Structure 1
Amino acid sequence: MLLIAPPGKGVKMVGDTRIWNHPTIKFERKKKVRFTFDGKEIVGYEGETVAAALYASGRRVFSRSIRYHRPRGYYCGVGRCASCMMRVDGVPNTRICTLPIREGMVVESQNRFPSLDLDLLRIVDYLFPHGIDYHKMFIRPRFLRETYNRFIRRFAGIGKPPEPVKSFEPPEQGRRSAQLTVVGGGPAGLCAAVEAANSGVDVLLVDENPKLGGRLRREPQRIFQTNEKEEKTGSELLKELLNQVEKAGGKEEGKGKILVMLNTTATGIYQNHGNKTLVLTTPENLVQVETKTIVVATGSHDQPELFENNDLPGVMTSTAAQMLMNVYGVKPGERAVVLGINKDSLELGKQLLDAGVEIACFVDQSQKRVSETEKKVFDEKNIPFYSSHKIKKVLGHNQVKKAVLAHLNEDGSESGEEEKIACDLVCLALGRRPSCELTLQTGCKHRMVPELGGFTPLRDKKFRTTVKGVYVAGGTAGIMDTAGAMLSGRVAGLSAATDLGIGGEKPLAKCEQFLKQFQDYYDNLDEETKVGIAKTTVEEVC
């Protein structure tokens, strides 16, 4: 293999897939960090996650499935699936896609025999291609049932219990109180926190990631349109919002404070005598927060897609690919098939090209047509668009090698025409659905809205839900566009301040101003999105 020396960095590691010369993003790689994976030393850089460092070293298989021991790889990139769970320093089932590397860390794969790449137990997948019916298969003869159970328990499941600890002191449960808790540190959550704090509300801002920013952090080079009709890159917009968070409240009289908790997951919301009890999980302990109001701005999830072998390493969401190449500077693959023809998938395509990834084609089941302006950058590289096609299956043993495309008739049935495309990466960019797990826990009314991707909380024009004191903003409210998400966050934060009776008439007047801007934003949306937003907006909520 050719050894390439990045400027001033010395000789590049054999098999290293890091991006050293990116046209728009500068990756800061300072201190090297060494850890072991299954006994082998891996070298990463401070700030990388375990998954990013392993992926950069050439590893594609991260785990094996529970029953059939099928290979699993880097899929979501943000800790929302179980594909990357490993044993870390003796702790089983740790999601390594969000875990930063540490010097001397011991990482081990799970649920494989004898190794992760060559798992002999995968023979189960080949012997039972249509699945195992435990209810019928392992009940006779009766005297062998205990033997069956011992066998199944030995080879199924994920991981082994941690080593027994002689003395263990459970961490003390933390307690906090807040006037407003904002869950989610993306554009909507940041705007909600800033407006509420500037109105005099003490805000607790919670995010599950190590840094604030959401999609702005994973798409730093993308051009976003702000509510002032200005265009800014993701990094510029993030810098501006973080500046606002830092300045919000301050020492001025009548201003609130913003307390930020990172690496913290909101795992439950409970009603408590008019207040809300929010349970937070931190790396150290559980924190119980008594809060009067909550803005849920947890964003959205990538839409999955069904096709044969869609669990093979190399199939990943657009978010996962963006985290690798834009945040950690690691190439997600060499040749990609992008599933989806839409604004976000085209932007993803440009980011893949910037990262040095060849794009084999774009695929979409609909008959979508792309404008000449949007296609220009791809036409120059002769990248085809396959509308009225679907991915029927992907081929490969431990990693994607080819994607099989099937042509579709007007009624959606397969015409019989197929084409095999060589690739090692399939990016799912079919749109997003609201992340409404927390709002479902509160008892808010939801509605299935296909135009917005799935179940979406009902809310009024000021983003109040059907449960008093609970507000939604951004992707959680079905507003996927960054400009709209920011406006919805500002309105939600000001609505919370007004309902708390803090700030007098000022937050109310400011809220009306942002509502007018949101109406202008809504008037310029496409008809499908307008219909979806209209379905979730009600006159009275509580």
Structure 2
Amino acid sequence: MNLFGDTIQGRRGSRVRIFFNGIGLEGYTLEPVSIALYYNGFKVLGRSKKLYRMRGFYSLNPQDRLMLAKVGGEYVNPCEVLCQEGQEVHVDLSVPFLVKLFSPFLDGYFQHRKLLKNKILWSLTVDKIKKLANHPKIGDMGAQKTGKILEVESDVVVVGGGLSGLVATYTISKLGLRVLLIDDSPALGGRMRYDHMDIPGISMPREDLLRDLLNRITTSENVRILTRTVFTGLFEDYPTAYSEYDKVLYILKAKAYIIATGLVDVPCIFRNNDLPGVFSGSTVLEMINYYGVEPGRRGLIIGLSQNSLRIAEQLKRLGIDIVLVSRLKHKNMECNLSKIGEYVGNVREIQASGKTCIERVNIIHDGRRDEVKVDFIACSAFSIPDVRILNQLNSKIVFLDNVGFIPIHDEYMHLKDNIFIAGGVSGSPYSILHLIEGEIAALSVAYNLGVRDAEPLVEEKIKEYRFKLGEMNIKWKNKIFEISRSGLIENTSFTYPPTLFIEKPGRDAFICFCEDITTEDISRTVYEKGFRTLELVKRILGVCTGRCQGRLCMVNASLYVSYLSNLDPDQVGLTKARAPT
């Protein structure tokens, strides 16, 4: 287990030979199969479930399991499984004849067409759909049994091993409480593992800060660490976590929980946004800085933010050409991009194209169309709190324009009952705030569990926190704190989905990649069926019911329905996710 996630030059681990559809390739033992395939030029990991479109990976997060591949005889997420000597990987890229024949009529809305309202035709169609759907048959999956069921007792469970989670873990352990730290990645550190630029507002260099935190928690007798483990939720019977890697189901028994699951880079919506070579911004950084694999030689970064600029600068250092695009006009820019790359503003639509992967994009802006040759796209227009766990709890969550769906919490980072939050999941945009929130959440938990010495410390930290919020002009946090006290939620203004780069709905602009749901499908559901809540749209189309359980599509779907129906996003709402499948 590599807890430290040390950055090394080039590939990670020992060289091995794997076989992709019978072709021998070079891989390394500490990198996922998907990375090895991409490095060797195999960007297509399979075809989509309903439309059989070629797909790759968007994210390396194990919970963003958009595709399954047959690795070593089992259907698994190729972004989770590490390379091994002699490993056989098989991907079926064939398309059934009937799918080819009827492809012009296939979409996420086809079951609601008038022709299929006939009961006999519908029963025949459903039977055929089950046979043609591109997902492994139950018999082919094999019995993936849980090897062990273990009970784990602790005073506090911290979910998420990024900056705020590490700080919270160390602070709690220092106060003499037992803490269990759970993270779904192979190594702790979150974004600090692969974002090589120093953290604004923190004097200590990034790598020194990460190493210091890891040294402190790994040498503490009060800390237990579970990596490669997904926290599945706070259920009525008991909270659970599961490690696919170790085949262990953990039953958790703790007095308090700190959720520090961070942010999610929401996919951008543009034509052919499902082509292999479209990644989240964080994934691009992880590829180059952690696994030593370049996503390409010329890339398009969508979005103009602190995050996108950090990505662009680190790509530029490697000699990779960059084009940044956003909806902002040139006159609204407050930064000099000449040292990073070309900038195109006032973008209305993006059209990607390529035979099997990204080869070029057409950018429509300022009344004209420009074609740009690129071999990858990084989506960095909108990062939102990962509220999947909090949404399971029926927590109060409100939408703030240009911020996202934010869980209601107070200055003590208290969410509800014995649950606290910290870091990106609270909506805070800067790492210095994540660090302080980790300390506040830990001290608040300790005080609630009877550590009286924590009270003056948490009050002091809250003063520092409020000062930083004022210094950074983050006024919306005060609104969240006020709602937590009053319980009153006002209607919020909403202008335009920040990830939307199409001028009209299309069959090739996807919102839900797992279930092949497009903007046209959602548009027809809103206008023809009259459905205005995401829960109803979900029941009709199946959006948010795929393998990622809405982690990548839920916010995009909600905001797009809001945009089409001219409703407040809080009225459209979110959907409740199940445990990861």
Q: TM-score range by the shorter chain?
A: 0.7 to 0.9
AA paired with 2:352? V
Q: Secondary structure at the match of 2:171?
A: helix
- Which residue in 2 is equivalent to 1:14? none
CA distance in 2, matches of 1:499, 1:125: 61
Q: Secondary structure at the match of 2:357?
A: coil
CA distance in 2, matches of 1:75, 1:168: 25
CA distance in 1, matches of 2:127, 2:315: 47
Pick the aligned partner of 2:138 from 157, 161, 177.
161
CA distance in 1, matches of 2:144, 2:392: 32
- Which residue in 1 is equivalent to 2:42? 59
Alignment of 1:108-257 (within 5 A): 108-110=90-92, 112-113=93-94, 123=100, 127-128=104-105, 133-136=110-113, 139=116, 148-163=125-140, 171-219=147-195, 221-226=196-201, 229-233=202-206, 235-248=207-220, 250=221, 257=222
- Over residues 498-540 of structure 1, what are the superposed CA-to-partner deviations in whole Å (9 max), with x where a residue is unaligned? 00003x32x22222232222122212214xxx13322322464
Pick the aligned partner of 1:522 from 469, 473, 483.
469
- Which residue in 1 is equivalent to 2:358? 400
Maintained 8 Å contact 1:70/1:122: no
Q: By how many angstroms is 1:401 displaced?
A: 1.5
CA distance in 2, matches of 1:469, 1:143: 53
Pick the aligned partner of 2:328 from 346, 366, 370.
366
- Which residue in 2 is equivalent to 1:18? none
CA distance in 2, matches of 1:405, 1:440: 36
Maintained 8 Å contact 2:161/2:183: yes
Maintained 8 Å contact 2:229/2:243: yes
Q: Secondary structure at the match of 1:78?
A: coil
Q: By how many angstroms is 1:181 displaced?
A: 0.2
Q: Which structure 1 segments of 5+ residues have no match?
A: 1-23, 251-256, 409-414
**What is the TM-score normalised by the length of structure 1?**
0.81
- Which residue in 1 is equivalent to 2:429? 480
Structure 1's 76 and 164: CA in aligned 2 closer, same or farther, altered over 3 A?
closer
Structure 1's 121 and 73: CA in aligned 2 closer, same or farther, altered over 3 A?
farther
CA distance in 1, matches of 2:486, 2:149: 35
- Which residue in 1 is equivalent to 2:337? 375
RMSD value over aligned CA atoms?
Answer: 2.7
Matched, 1:106 2:81: no
CA distance in 2, matches of 1:136, 1:370: 46
Maintained 8 Å contact 2:184/2:228: yes
CA distance in 2, matches of 1:175, 1:512: 35
Matched, 1:307 2:256: no
AA paired with 1:278? P
Alignment of 1:26-45 (within 5 A): 26-27=9-10, 29-45=12-28
Structure 1's 145 and 271: CA in aligned 2 closer, same or farther, altered over 3 A?
closer
Structure 1's 95 and 355: CA in aligned 2 closer, same or farther, altered over 3 A?
farther
Structure 1's 259 and 125: CA in aligned 2 closer, same or farther, altered over 3 A?
farther
CA distance in 2, matches of 1:434, 1:402: 31
Q: By how many angstroms is 1:345 displaced?
A: 0.8
Pick the aligned partner of 1:293 from 246, 249, 256.
256
CA distance in 2, matches of 1:393, 1:57: 26
Maintained 8 Å contact 2:62/2:184: no
Q: By how many angstroms is 1:32 displaced?
A: 1.1
Structure 1's 487 and 42: CA in aligned 2 closer, same or farther, altered over 3 A?
same
CA distance in 2, matches of 1:329, 1:390: 34
- Which residue in 2 is equivalent to 1:449? 400
- Which residue in 2 is equivalent to 1:270? 235
Q: By how many angstroms is 1:211 displaced?
A: 0.5
AA paired with 2:60? G
Larger radius of gyration: 1
Q: By how many angstroms is 1:398 displaced?
A: 1.1
- Which residue in 2 is equivalent to 1:75? 58
Maintained 8 Å contact 2:52/2:134: no
Identity of aligned residues (%): 25
AA paired with 2:315? L
- Which residue in 1 is equivalent to 2:373? 422
Q: By how many angstroms is 1:100 displaced?
A: 1.4
Maintained 8 Å contact 2:55/2:274: yes
CA distance in 1, matches of 2:359, 2:131: 32
**What is the TM-score normalised by the length of structure 2?**
0.76
CA distance in 2, matches of 1:269, 1:33: 40
Q: By how many angstroms is 1:129 displaced?
A: 7.0
CA distance in 2, matches of 1:57, 1:458: 46
- Which residue in 1 is equivalent to 2:557? none
- Over residues 207-260 of structure 1, what are the superposed CA-to-partner deviations in whole Å (9 max), with x where a residue is unaligned? 0011000000121x211134xx41523x22211221221344x4xxxxxx0100
- Which residue in 2 is equivalent to 1:16? none
CA distance in 2, matches of 1:145, 1:232: 62
- Which residue in 2 is equivalent to 1:509? 456
CA distance in 2, matches of 1:493, 1:170: 32
Matched, 1:537 2:481: yes
CA distance in 2, matches of 1:483, 1:259: 25
Q: By how many angstroms is 1:171 displaced?
A: 3.0
- Which residue in 2 is equivalent to 1:13? none
Q: By how many angstroms is 1:78 displaced?
A: 1.2
Q: Secondary structure at the match of 2:468?
A: helix
AA paired with 2:203? E
CA distance in 2, matches of 1:492, 1:312: 41
Maintained 8 Å contact 1:87/1:159: no
Maintained 8 Å contact 1:449/1:535: no
AA paired with 1:224? I
Maintained 8 Å contact 1:391/1:403: no
Q: Secondary structure at the match of 1:443?
A: coil
CA distance in 2, matches of 1:164, 1:316: 27
Q: Secondary structure at the match of 1:316?
A: strand
CA distance in 2, matches of 1:266, 1:29: 26
Q: By how many angstroms is 1:49 displaced?
A: 0.7
